[in-house]
Amino acid sequence: MTITTGILQVGAGAFHTWAVKKDNSLWCWGWNKYGQVGDGTYEDKTYPVEIMKGIIDVSAGGSHTCAIKQYGSLWCWGANEEGQLGDRTKLNRYLPYSIMKLKQ
Distance, in Å, from the CA atom of 46 to the CA atom of 67, rounded to the nearest integer, reads 21
Q: How high is the pLDDT of residue 72?
A: 87
User: Where is pLDDT greater, at 64 or 102?
Assistant: 64
Q: What ranges do the domains of the chain cover?
A: 7-101
Measured CA distances, 96 to 2, 18, 31, 46 (Å): 23, 14, 16, 20
From 77, 102, 99, select the one nearest 88 (Cα to Cα).
99
- 0.75 cut: is pTM over it? yes
Compute CA 10 distance to the chain's CA centroid, rounded to the nearest angstrom. Answer: 12
Span 32-61, pLDDT tens digits: 999 999 999 999 999 999 999 999 999 999
